[in-house]
Amino acid sequence: MISAPLAIGFSVLLARLGFPNDGLWGAASKAWMGAAIPEEVAKFLIVWFYIRRHPQCDSGGDLFCGAVLVGLGFALLENILYLLSSDNWIMTGFMRGAMAVPGHTIDGMMMGVFLAWWWRKDILAPAALVLALGLPILAHGFYDFPLMALDALDEASHADPLAVRYTLFALFVATVVISAAAAIWAGRMEMIEVFLRAEPDIDLHAPSPAGLTLWRWIGRAMIAGAVALALMGISKAMSVDPLEGGWLMVIALFPAAFGRIMTLRVPKQAKGFLSPWGRR
């Protein structure tokens, strides 16, 4: 949660640089200069200068989990602010719970996985820093930009606004799909590092069979709910409004991805970059 005030401060500083505020360029400026860059830099600074130096951070797994928790803490404070300012807090809470919270979590996972590689000496520090900061900024910016641009279109005139809307929607879908796949990949990669490469970690304890079973059933329930929501979206897209149905299908992607992560099993062996997609 400490990262949120830092991000606000960075946003104010960047706003003073005089970037455009209107139209698609204004949306791009707000997405990257007003949100993605200050927020991800703030998270990174907390992870790098506080969590990394904490006495209890003694493994790459701790660094990975710390980055994820920083993302969740930021999402918590941000969601409280959105809910307090919303007239329809139930819908706002649902939408942010299904999209914004997983989005911040995925950004933390991508930041954490490369910092964990650096900790284990699997990657050089410059590459780790570029990837750990650059990829979350790109993902965050490409997530926010289409949404902000769609809002900007309501106030701007375009020769073919419908075509522009579909293009922006397609960009948003691509970003969510790639982010969801990245989350599964990062979670599986960290599972391989912890369980197959046996990095010493005194904080690591095997879960109880009952707890693990419950965890996986919750994951299956999340996948089932996501599938049901996607089917509703398909039905609406075919019978009522393709764009509205498409939004329902997109909303189902992040819950499905995290449900999949909760049902992951450790593979018998790690075979390299693509091994996270194998099954037991």
**Each residue of 85-98: pLDDT tens digit?**
888 888 888 889 88
Give the chain's radius of gyration (CA, Å). Answer: 20
Higher-pLDDT residue of 156, 107: 107
Q: What is the pLDDT of residues 110-120, one digit of tens each?
A: 999 999 999 98
Average pLDDT of the chain?
84
Q: What's the rounded Cα separation, in Å, for the pair 99 and 101?
A: 6
Span 216-236, average pLDDT: 95
- Tens of pLDDT, residue by residue over 243-280, are 888 899 999 999 999 999 999 887 665 555 444 444 43
Q: Is 31 exposed, middle or buried (0-12, 13-18, 19+ CB in 10 A)?
A: buried
For residue 156, the model assigns a pLDDT of 61
What pLDDT does residue 277 have? 44
How do residues 37-82 score in pLDDT, each as one tens digit? 999 999 999 999 999 999 888 888 899 999 999 999 999 988 888 8
Query: What residue segments make up the domains of the chain, in order of their start?
Result: 3-201, 205-267
Q: With 60 as the cut, is the pLDDT of residue 159 above it?
A: no
Q: DSSP per residue over 198-254, as a string?
A: ----TT--PPPHHHHHHHHHHHHHHHHHHHHHHHHHHHHHHHT-HHHHHHHHHHTHH
Q: How many CA atoms lie within 13 A of 147 on its CB side?
A: 16
Give me the pLDDT at residue 241, please: 82
Helices (H), the chain: 3-15, 23-31, 37-46, 60-84, 89-95, 101-119, 125-153, 161-195, 209-239, 242-251, 253-262
